[in-house]
Amino acid sequence: MDCRVVVEAAVPVYDVETVDEAVRIAISKTGEMLNPDLNYVEIDMGTRTTPDGEELPPAFLAADEALVALELEMTVFNVDRDEHASRIARKEIGQRLRDVPLKVLTVEEIPEEAAADSNGDDDPEPNDAPESGDASGSEGSDDGSDSEEDDLLPEFEEMVEDTE
């Protein structure tokens, strides 16, 4: 069974003045920590609400520091049950986001038909794309690179002559 897991992260951000700035920095910081190992994790702005249901900004800002709520979404493949998927997601994300509190928000099973359809759709496209891309790409790159090199080299030589 495959599952889509959404994990909430509380990301601390320092030296910020606005909530928007805090959110942008938190998303960037989280992306840097996750990449390149977990570049398939989707990072979104989290939602916060009061106990009465009133919506709050995604970041709490005090003294030029912020705590930003982010939602990290990933697909976990070949798991036995929902708890297994949530443990895997927390472990994978938690290893890269040191000292960032995590909480599993949702675990949604991906229907087998959707998984089979996406696998079926993904297989033909890569096989078709490289064949057509290799044939046209190699011909285009041979012709295009020669004309590009002819155009680029004189400009480069002119720049070198100007500096000497």
Does the residue 116 lie in any domain?
no
Bond preceding residue 36 cis, omega within 30 of 0: yes
Let me know: does 20 contact 36? Beta carbons within 8 Å: no
How do residues 32-91 score in pLDDT, each as one tens digit? 999 888 888 999 999 888 999 999 999 999 999 999 999 999 999 999 999 999 999 999
Claim to verify: residue 131 and residue 58 sit in the same structural domain: no
Q: Are residues 92 and 43 in the same domain?
A: yes
pLDDT > 70 fraction of the chain, expressed in percent and rounded:
68
pLDDT (tens digit per residue) in 7-25: 999 999 999 999 999 999 9
Domain, as residue range, for 154: 123-163
Residues 48 and 99 both lie in one domain: yes
Angstrom distance (rounded) from CA 82 to CA 2:
9
Is residue 118 situated within a structural domain?
A: no
Residues 91 and 150 in one domain: no
- Asked, for residue 96, whether it belongs to a domain, the answer is yes
Q: Are residues 106 and 43 in the same domain?
A: yes
